[in-house]
Amino acid sequence: MSPLVMQYTLVFLAVVVVGFIGLTLYNRREQRRKNAMNLHKLMIKWGLDWFADLFECYAVGDYSGLAHRVREIVQTMRSDTALVGKLDEAFWKILEFYKSDPAKLAEIQKRLAPRA
């Protein structure tokens, strides 16, 4: 086999390997973004839309928006009243979910009953 054919074969194989690795890494990143979008939808469903925006920004590749949302969340976490207000919204949605299960409802009532 001539050295030129061997050289072209090695270059071709190197391009194929690099392409395969590149596509694998690209697909992993896209899967992470799809998962982030699914988590975003789930968080909105449960009333955590103020936190879900982080995952939406990541999913669409808006990293400056992501940094802005992180700053807003950190500021919210520093304020007790704002944090309690955000968690209050999620609490009522979760309570509505648990009200449909009699066992969970009984447990909630037991925990809320005054202790003697």
The pLDDT tens digits of the residues spanning 15-50 come to: 999 999 999 999 998 999 999 899 999 888 887 877
Sign of CA dihedral 40, 43, 45, 48: negative
52: closest CA among 99, 100, 93?
93
pLDDT at residue 116 above 70?
A: no
- pTM attached to this predicted model: 0.62
Query: 24 CB contacts (<8 Å, ≥6 apart)?
Result: none
All structural domains of the chain with their residue ranges = 3-112
The pLDDT tens digits of the residues spanning 75-88 come to: 877 877 877 887 88
